[in-house]
């Protein structure tokens, strides 16, 4: 294989792969963003403090160059498998070789350049558990500021304590006063909001379609659809003040008509009338917001069948895998896609 070859990862490899990136500086963040766009789960680990003589970064020692020549690119690569699999991983983390991924053309530093001089300020609804919590964890690890929105103050505070960071925020998406109070607080504390992740949602339980009443549908729509509109409306002024405002609506493959009609897909087997209809509505809202506000990047994502309390933890993939498209949409570069339906393997049909 030549150095210019850019192999594509199969879905099976992406699903099984977790990449460990030693050093959470701009280079590590750039690589993490690119891997997230490709659907690969990755973890950022801050290098140990205390730079060694001749180091290029905090706690990172460069491998000495061979006599009479520079180091090869192969020798500068971090071996994630060696760090993950060996019991001596801690010493390896403290003496990890410097890796200049910026030399690789395919790893453009768009996610770093996007907010050069500072990370994003992101607000995530339903951030106290499941996909919202994991999205917050990944963004906080990468250095972003994250508002952890939850219905109850204790839930938001406990999420911040478990994450070791983040800003607890009381926000009930079904309550006008609660949403308005949250927007007023963020406005006092921030000049703008860069990313809004509309993640809060409920399943509404399981009933046969013949037993579903209008009240059942209204209860699910109150959170999944009207709640999304309520929060988006309240935070639009802050998002439009950002140099690069982004809205990520967490949808579902259950809102994709082709997926639900395909007998070969798991979505075909689910007959949850209120939830599926609400996620189709979220998809249409995404398109309408994207058309109305072309200066923003507005996308809906399908995390896939992820094990959360929404489905009784019956999902076939982990939250670490499920957040991949959410991170991709949240860290979309300026001029990137808008009005699209994104899954782990790219765009999916409406």
Report yes or no on 208 lying in a domain. yes
> Total domain count for the chain?
2
Q: Are 52 and 89 in contact (CB under 8 A)?
A: no
- Is 109 part of any domain? no
Q: Would you say residue 6 lies in a domain? A: no
Are both 144 and 182 inside the same structural domain?
A: yes
Strands of the chain (E only): list them: 18-22, 41-45, 121-125, 145-150, 167-170, 195-198, 246-250, 297-301, 341-343, 346-347
Co-location of 82 and 143 in the same domain = no
Domain of residue 207 covers 115-347
Do both 215 and 249 map to the same domain?
A: yes
Q: What is the pLDDT of residues 236-283, one digit of tens each?
A: 999 999 999 999 999 999 899 999 999 999 889 988 999 999 999 999
Instruction: Write out residues in the chain with pLDDT < 70, as ranges.
Output: 1-20, 22-118, 307, 309, 311-312, 315-316
Examine the domain organization and report whether 219 and 320 are in the same domain: yes
Q: How many residues does the chain have?
A: 350
42 and 120 fall within a common domain: no
pLDDT digits (tens, 9 = 90+) for 132-160: 999 999 999 999 999 999 999 999 999 99
Q: Are residues 92 and 159 in the same domain?
A: no
In this structure, the answer to whether residues 147 and 261 fall within a common structural domain is yes
- 179, 304: one domain: yes
Examine residue 20 and state whether it is found in any structural domain, yes or no: yes
What's residue 42's pLDDT?
60
| b/e map 3-21, b = 16+ CB within 10 Å | eeeeeeeeeeebbeeebbb
Same domain, 228 and 83: no
We report the CATH number of the domain holding residue 142 as 3.40.50.720
**Residue 110, in any domain of the structure:** no
Residue 68: the pLDDT is 44
108 belongs to a structural domain: no
Active-site positions read: 275, 279
Nearest CA among 157, 243, 160 for reference residue 194: 243
Q: 45: helix, coil or strand? A: strand
In this structure, the answer to whether residues 79 and 191 fall within a common structural domain is no
What is the pLDDT, as a whole number, of residue 346? 87
Of the chain, the end-to-end C-alpha distance in Å amounts to: 38
Whether residues 74 and 125 share a domain: the answer is no
Query: Whole-model pTM?
Result: 0.68
What the block records as the tokens of 133 is: 């919590």
> What DSSP designation does 273 have?
H
5, part of any domain: no
Last residue of a domain, one of 52, 78, 103: 103
Residue 181: both structure tokens together: 């109070």
Residue 25 lies in a domain: yes
Kind and range of the H or E run holding 237: helix 226-241
* 149 DSSP β-pair partners: 125, 169
pLDDT in the model for residue 32: 61
Give the pLDDT confidence score for residue 30 in this predicted structure: 55
Per residue in 309-331, pLDDT tens? 676 677 658 888 899 999 999 99
State which of 76, 103, 130 marks the end of a domain.
103
| 39 and 140 both lie in a single domain | no
Which domain-ending residue is among 38, 70, 103? Answer: 103
């Amino acid at each position: 294989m030549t150095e210019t070859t850019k192999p594509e990862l199969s879905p099976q490899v992406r699903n099984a792969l977790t990449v460990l990136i030693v050093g959470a500086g701009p280079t590590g963040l750039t690589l993490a963003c690119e891997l997230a766009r490709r659907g690969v789960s990755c973890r950022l680990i801050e290098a140990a403090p205390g730079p060694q003589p001749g180091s290029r970064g905090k706690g990172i020692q460069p491998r000495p160059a061979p006599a009479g020549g520079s180091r090869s690119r192969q020798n500068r690569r971090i071996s994630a498998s060696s760090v993950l699999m060996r019991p001596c991983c801690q010493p390896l983390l403290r003496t990890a070789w410097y890796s200049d991924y910026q030399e690789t053309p395919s790893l453009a530093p768009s996610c770093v350049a996007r907010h050069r001089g500072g990370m994003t300020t992101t607000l995530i609804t339903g951030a106290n558990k499941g996909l919202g919590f994991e999205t917050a964890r990944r963004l906080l690890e990468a250095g972003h500021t994250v508002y952890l929105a939850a219905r109850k103050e204790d839930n938001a505070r406990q999420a911040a304590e478990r994450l070791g960071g983040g800003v607890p925020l009381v926000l009930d998406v079904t309550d006008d006063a609660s949403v308005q109070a949250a927007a007023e607080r963020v406005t006092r504390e921030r000049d703008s909001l860069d990313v809004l992740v509309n993640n809060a949602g409920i399943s509404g339980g399981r009933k046969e379609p013949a037993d579903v009443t209008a009240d059942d549908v209204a209860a699910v729509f109150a959170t999944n659809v009207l709640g999304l509109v309520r929060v988006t409306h309240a935070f639009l002024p802050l998002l439009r003040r950002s140099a690069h405002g982004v809205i990520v609506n967490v949808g579902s493959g259950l809102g994709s008509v082709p997926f639900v009609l395909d007998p070969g897909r798991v979505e075909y087997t689910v007959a949850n009338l209120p939830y599926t209809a609400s996620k189709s509505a979220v998809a249409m809202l995404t398109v309408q917001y994207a058309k109305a506000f072309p200066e923003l990047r507005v996308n809906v994502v399908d995390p896939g069948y992820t094990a959360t309390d929404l489905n009784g933890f019956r999902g076939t993939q982990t939250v670490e895998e499920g957040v991949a498209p959410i991170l991709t949409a949240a860290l979309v570069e300026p001029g990137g896609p808008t009005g699209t339906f994104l899954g782990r393997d790219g765009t999916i049909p409406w």
